[in-house]
Structure 1
Amino acid sequence: MRTTRAVPLLLATLLAATACGAQVERSTAETVTVPRCAQPVPYRAPERAVAYEAGSADKLFALGLGEKVRGYVMPPANPPVEESPWAADYAATEKLSTDLLNRELVVDAGADLVVAGWRSGFSDERGITPELLDRLGIGSFMHTETCWNYPGFPERVAPLEGLYEDMHRLGAIFRVPERADDVVAGMQARVAAVTDAAPRLDPPPSVFLYDSGTDRPNTAGNQVPPNDIITLAGGRNVLDDVDGRWTDVGWETVVERQPEIIMILDYGDQSAEQKIDYLTSLPQLRSVPAIANRNFFVLDYNEGISGPRNIDGLERFGAYLREFRR
């Protein structure tokens, strides 16, 4: 691991309360202790971070940390980085791979921190876990939203609260806590504006998210950002009783729950239009109000995974619901 200079005394004695009640503990002169999920971990100030997917890179770029990012890994399903609000930061940063995260890539890059999610970047099956990186002397940071079933140190936080938590934690790790406070305050103000303007329909418009799948559709449970986007904008995720992240259900469940709106997650080989065409072609869905009335909302992939663009998705869906009529 790269040896870093001692942090200033003010930061060395930092004690910051975070969004979900966890705390950044007092650090030594060289490290600051920050939760990785529910596990307290000491971090040196990173200089060569590697980010997996746009959600990770966007968080770092939103904090003004482009110079501390060694590179990013962007699987091909992710929409083009040129569409990001931080396109200039991506252009100035090396794309290390268009494959999945792996140990060799991280080591070859000389990374001193890897930012990813549990089972969304980090994976036992692929042989790259925080524990492995600890043994290699490489730091790791996991998106709080993915921590709900992290082995040994689970942490359950509402997805958008997890986004705020991540910004605070990354701010502490990179020694820019005041910058993180400002970024989070800006996000919270935007969220408050949406919730204040949300329609108060009774019952709330019911929404089914369609990710992909033919035999069984993949959708959003209550532990991923779209659940919060739907709820805060004034709707209800028809799968909000599913205690999980991305999950498969049967088409009969979609019919049974009669969603009034279908939210399309836009990514991958199928365009949003192709996904809509597929759904409207299924005879078994003809009785679903969203299909009969062609009520579709397209959510960009990077608005649906944990990252600053969740707020963009919330604002857009909030505007959509304000125009929704039964």
Structure 2
Amino acid sequence: MTRSLLFLAALLASPAKAQAFPVTVQSCDREITVEAPPRRAVSNDVNLTEMMLALGLQDRMAGHTGISDARTVHGPLQAALAEIPELSPRYPGREVLLGANADFYFAGWNYGMSIGGEVTPDRLAPFGITVYELAESCIHVMEKPRASLDDLYTDIRNLGAIFGVSERAEALIAGWRAELAALSDAIGTGTPPRVFVYDSGEDTPYTAGRYAMPTALIEAAGGVNIMQDFGKSWAMIGWEEVIARDPEVIVIVDYGEVTAAQKRDFLTSNPALAGLTAIREDNFVILDYVAATPGPRNIEAVGLLARAFAGAVE
């Protein structure tokens, strides 16, 4: 069990202070107000659902969506997930949320909601469903700073306020900050290694830009995303851009039908990429999807990356 979960377990065992309602928090470019803690919440995607479970909110949830494989949920949280109905393995339609009598939907843009789709804050509001948007995803609807771990802390803090468990939220954040501080010895102090995030794609690679969480994780681990100046979240680029920037480490995001091993085989067998430092020196890191996207496993991901970067620049 991680230090942050130990902090939370201790807090859950102690009496909680009552939290005043109504509560107002910022959700992207909107303010949302809840008169009382939601009782029939739905979360989309494995990383957002893990945030809810890490806060101990399974008894407030009517279901979850967008988790194609429940085994990807962190082991200590799987028992809690088992208590919650699966409403859809993909993005839910509006009828799914209405059928569950949901009063709250935790999702993000491209994490359960699409611009112009039928499931958006505006289109759910007439049905009494409050939507809180994942902070990292706000770049799709507004200007925001580059991705950082503060995006994760903001979501946890806001969820804590919405559900009346702010003490739990602050305990989680304090635990994560302590874990990061304990990683300082593993983080190099020399020139940051150049890192490329490979999500998928052969003709053109899909990668993380300045607004995607891997940029924050790589920076916290002592590296630099070669696409940190790319003004996108997740998007396609050209292989010529990757070659020109010559990454020293390649992070492979492990998810989907194509395995991490198959992605690595493609990279190492592509003659056009043979000159990349990362490929010549065999510097690869495998990062699970749930660790590469905003959620409780981001801190663990920083540690994994820090150790890999240290080995790559020795």
> Corresponding residue for 1:145?
136
Does 2:19 correspond to 1:11? Answer: yes
Is 1:325 the counterpart of 2:313? The answer is: yes
1:286 maps to which of 271, 274, 279: 274
Corresponding residue number in structure 1 for 2:28? 37
CA 1:192–1:181 in structure 2 vs 1: closer, same or farther (change >3 Å)?
Answer: same
* 1:48 maps to amino acid: R
Q: Is the 8 A contact 2:48 2:106 kept in 1?
A: yes
How far apart in 2 are the matches of 1:113 and 1:61?
15
**How big is each residue's C-alpha offset from its partner over 1:135-185, in whole Å with a ceiling of 9 and x where there is no partner?**
22111111111112325xx54363310100011000000011111111111
Identity in percent = 37
Q: Is the 8 A contact 1:75 1:100 kept in 2?
A: no
How far does residue 124 in structure 1 lie from its aligned partner after superposition? 2.9
1:193 to 182, 203, 214: 182
How do 1:224-243 and structure 2 match up within 5 A? 224-243=212-231
Shift of 1:210: 0.3
Deviations 1:67-126 (A, max 9, x none): 1111111343x6734544411111121111112222111111111100011232111343
Alignment partners' CA distance in 2, 1:157 and 1:167: 18
TM-superposed deviation, 1:49: 0.6
Instruction: For 1:33, give the aligned amino acid.
Output: T
CA contact (8 A) 2:251 2:287 kept: yes
Q: Which residue is equivalent to 1:58?
A: 50
Partner of 2:95: 104
Q: CA deviation digits over 1:227-281, x for unaligned, max 9?
A: 1111111111000111221011101111100001100000000111000001111
C-alpha separation in 2, matches of 1:245 and 1:189: 28
> 1-side partners of 2:88 and 2:102: how far apart?
14
Question: How far apart are the structure 2 equivalents of 1:260 and 1:108?
Answer: 49
Please state whether the residue corresponding to 1:244 is helix, strand or coil. Answer: coil
Report if aligned partners of 1:194, 1:232 keep a CA contact under 8 Å in 2: no
1:177 corresponds to which letter in structure 2? Answer: S
**What runs of 5+ residues in structure 2 fail to find an aligned partner?**
1-15
Is the CA contact (8 Å cut-off) linking 1:58 and 1:307 kept in structure 2?
yes
299 and 81 in structure 1: CA distance in 2 versus 1, 3 angstrom threshold: closer
The structural deviation recorded for 1:306 is 0.9
Matching of residues 250-265 of structure 1 within 5 Å: 250-265=238-253
Q: Which moved more, 1:297-306 or 1:112-121?
A: 112-121
Residues 180, 299 of structure 2: 8 Å contact kept: yes
Task: Extract unaligned runs of 5+ from structure 1.
Answer: 1-7, 13-28
Q: Is the 8 A contact 1:147 1:156 kept in 2?
A: no
1:195 to partner: Cα distance? 3.9
Alignment RMSD (CA, Å): 1.9
CA distance in structure 1 between the partners assigned to 2:17 and 2:29 by the alignment:
26
Change (3 A) 1:234 1:207: same
User: Alpha carbons of 1:141 and 1:235: their partners in 2 closer, same or farther (altered >3 Å)?
Assistant: same
Give the Cα–Cα distance (whole angstroms) in 1 for the partners of residues 104 and 131 of structure 2.
5
Match of residue 46 from structure 1: 38
Give the letter aligned to residue 269 of structure 2.
S
1:311 to partner: Cα distance: 1.1
Post-superposition shift, 1:40? Answer: 1.4
Tell me if the contact between 1:79 and 1:301 (Cα under 8 Å) persists in the aligned partners: no
TM-score normalized by the length of structure 2: 0.90
Q: Distance in 1 between matches of 2:17 and 2:309?
A: 49
Q: Is the 8 A contact 1:32 1:172 kept in 2?
A: yes
Matching residue of 1:208: 196
1:166 matched to which residue of 2? 155
Distance 1:237 1:278, change over 3 A: same
Q: Which amino acid in the other structure matches residue 11 of structure 1? A: Q
Question: When the two structures are superposed, what TM-score results if normalisation uses the length of structure 1?
Answer: 0.87
- After TM superposition, give the deviation of residue 36 of structure 1 in Å: 1.1
Please tell me the residue identity of whatever aligns with 2:19: L
Secondary structure of 1:34's match?
Answer: strand
Q: Is contact 1:209–1:264 with CA below 8 Å preserved after alignment?
A: yes
Where 2:106 maps in the other structure, the secondary structure is: strand
